[in-house]
Amino acid sequence: MGETYQVTEQRSGQTFRCKAGQSVLKAMEQQGLKCVPVGCRGGGCGFCKITVLNGDFECGKMSRVHVPPGAIEEGEVLACRIYPLGNLIIECRPQPAGRLASEHTTTKVLR
């Protein structure tokens, strides 16, 4: 489990490292990146929705409301519930405007 993969965010060109078995969101947070809003971190709120453009990953359980059947095959996933199996190219969604989104954009390092 010592492997580390490179994740590239296509719009910004930012890259970061993600350990095997670590969620993409957790890797972002640990490296201080604010690519997506952060909510529940458990696959239920849908705030951290991204698109995987290239690369293989495993998925944890995600809300079908935010990731309906077939969406995973299209790369539509939640960053908190995907784990890379190799290098990934992702696209972060623009952060939604409004009060709720601004309340959940603070990132904290989880250990």
Would 109 be classed as within a structural domain?
no
Q: Which domain holds residue 43?
A: 4-93
* pLDDT for the residue numbered 75: 94
* pLDDT for the residue numbered 95: 58
- What pLDDT, in 10s, does the model give residues 73-102? 999 999 999 999 999 999 997 655 543 443
Closest of 34, 35, 50, 37 to residue 97, by C-alpha: 37
Determine what percent of the chain falls in helix, strand and coil, rounding each to the nearest 5. Answer: 15, 30, 55
Q: CB neighbours (10 Å) of residue 56? A: 11
Kindly state the tokens that stand for 3. 């492997």
Domain count, the chain: 1
Would 87 be classed as within a structural domain?
yes
pLDDT higher than 70, residue 44: yes
Would 108 be classed as within a structural domain?
no
pTM beyond 0.85: the answer is: no
